[in-house]
Structure 1
Amino acid sequence: MRPLVLVSHGELCVELKKSIEMIMGPQPDIHTVALLPNEGQAEFLQKFESVIKKLDDFIVLADLYGGTPCNVVAKEIMAGKPYHLYAGMNMAMIIGYLNASMLGETCDLKKEATAGIVDVNLALKDLLHTNE
């Protein structure tokens, strides 16, 4: 499994990792970098670089496309860094990635992210109609 580096505004990435570990158990290959309210791009980049210096090959998941954590990593990519970055991270995509890794399969992170979006009211309505 390629390690994951979760980046976000505030502690979202830290708490997302904790929630995933409630379901999937400890995840030493998931790392987090939180942009705190008193920090700017330079501080965030320094923290990011500190986390990735021990990683050879990894995937970065950001909370929000166009937000500072995503933009800082994107600037590094534009400067020639070989990072792979996805924005719009969610629990479903990370669990899908972990499950695929455990099975030795590849994972389409975009597909996993969107597959987790369900209109529950519509699903319930469909379920009720199929039971009639």
Structure 2
Amino acid sequence: MNKVILVAHGKLAHEMKNSAEMIFGALPDFESVEFLKEEGLDTIQEKVFGAMKEDASYLVLTDLFCGTPYNASCAVAMKNPEREIGIVSGMSLPIVLEVASMLQGSRLEDIVNHVTSIPCDTVKAFNQAVIEEEEDF
């Protein structure tokens, strides 16, 4: 069984889950963890570990590579080598929706490999997109 924990600065993780649920529907296997200004690395580690309530594989999506949510999540993974924990930074709504669509029925490793391959397909500049569309005709 796969579960997802969204971890980000401020309330971004909560709002990312809310936005994903507007599009995808209820996401009961998703938890969100906020990182507040007054909190530090230890507090976020406790929150991330506390969100791992079940014996499951966990994908942790964080906002920034090497930011406190990412570093805290990595620390949790290193302290719990017996657990299957994948960590991916660069959380975005397209990535969260991709994870939601793959969550059940896919191996955690396959989900990580897929979501790390899609940013080039989801991040587009207007001019670039127009040129690509014209080339397709």
**So what's the TM-score if we normalise by structure 2?**
0.81
Aligned to 1:115: 121
* RMSD over equivalenced CA pairs, Å: 2.2
Aligned to 1:95: 97
Unaligned runs of at least 5 residues, structure 2 = none
Change in Cα spacing, 1:125 to 1:61, as seen in structure 2 (3 Å) is same
Shift of residue 80, structure 1, vs aligned partner:
4.3
List per-residue Cα deviations over 1:10-46 (Å, max 9, x = no partner): 1111111111111111111111111111111222222
Residue identity matched to 2:9: H
Unaligned runs of at least 5 residues, structure 1 = none
Aligned to 1:28: 28
Shift of residue 130, structure 1, vs aligned partner:
6.3
Which stretches of structure 1, 4 residues or longer, exceed 4 Å deviation after superposition? 128-131
Alignment length (residue pairs):
130
2:73 is aligned with 1:73: yes
Secondary structure, in 3 states, of the residue corresponding to 2:38?
Answer: coil
**So what's the TM-score if we normalise by structure 1?**
0.83
Change in Cα spacing, 1:28 to 1:66, as seen in structure 2 (3 Å) is same
Residue identity matched to 2:125: D
List per-residue Cα deviations over 1:23-73 (Å, max 9, x = no partner): 111111111111111111222222222211335221111111111111011
Residue identity matched to 1:121: N
Say which one has the larger Rg: 1
Matched residues, percent identical?
Answer: 27
